[in-house]
Chains A and B, each alone.
Chain A
């Protein structure tokens, strides 16, 4: 029986790595994948607490989080495709058309 706080440490590690990825990388696809990693870390927490309390509510919330991740990936990748078609770049610091 693994204690619940072990799952929280795992989730914390994945979350921090995801935040580092979002803040330091230039490639938009890697940034989107890091966001997926963050959402995944949240899911581990939800399922661990669901196990701890003996109820499935946390798992239902994890399903909603996965739904959000799918929607975000679909729209985000559509935006990336449209942007790449117009500007021929994938780097986040070159996406500055709204900046002055």
Chain B
């Protein structure tokens, strides 16, 4: 159980540090690589939470699919010009302060609900057959949302093809 905590704090620190590096680096490719690190650390957190199926989905779909798409697009648009440009916009200080204020609000909300929201009693673990349980839920009670998600993916695919076409 101590190992569990150590791994959790390791993955959390990795995720937060590489997320900070992602939003501050000038080079977009470096940002993409730091985002990949964050996503892999999050996948480790999912594994600690006994969500094995989501761990695999995170690694294959997020890191292997979406981030490769991002890096392809970064390669297609030219990088040399954007390296010389200033990377932060004019309202950056106001924006950062407002974002931190939003974070402080959520912080207070969690802090106030901390004692009443989270039960101290230990709930039973999710069954060891995680993938089977997810599949049962996905193809049972969540059948209609699942089909709607597949239609969403079809629409996104057609939209991406139309957007990236040379002559519309």
Contact = CB atoms under 8 A, between A and B. Distances in A.
Nearest to B95: A23
A83 to B, nearest CB: 9
B54 A25 contact: no
Nearest to A51: B49
B22 to A, nearest CB: 7
A21 B149 CA distance: 28
A20 B137 contact: no
Given A29-B73, A33-B32, A66-B62, A24 B49 contact: no
Contact of A30 (B23, B86, B96, B142): B23
A27 to B, nearest CB: 6
Nearest to A92: B89
A40 B70 contact: no
Interface residues of B, number: 86
Nearest to A91: B85
Contact of A70 (B61, B118, B136, B138): B61
The 8 residue pairs across chains A and B that have the minimum distance between CB atoms = A78-B163, A71-B156, A23-B95, A16-B103, A21-B23, A78-B160, A74-B160, A24-B92
Nearest to A62: B54
18 contacts: A1-B4, A2-B48, A10-B15, A13-B19, A14-B16, A16-B102, A16-B106, A27-B87, A33-B32, A40-B42, A56-B136, A59-B130, A60-B134, A63-B57, A66-B58, A70-B66, A77-B69, A77-B160
A55 to B, nearest CB: 7
Interface in A72-94: 72-75, 77-82, 84-85, 90-93
Interface of A: 1-10, 12-21, 23-27, 29-30, 32-34, 36-37, 40, 43-44, 47-48, 50-57, 59-60, 62-64, 66-75, 77-82, 84-85, 90-93
Interface string B130-168: 100110111000100100010011011101111110100
B57 to A, nearest CB: 6
B38 A23 contact: no
Contacts of A37: 19, 22, 35, 38
Contacts of B31: 29-30, 33
B69 to A, nearest CB: 6
Interface in B107-124: 107, 110, 114, 118-119, 122-124
A51 B106 contact: no
Contacts of A53: 123
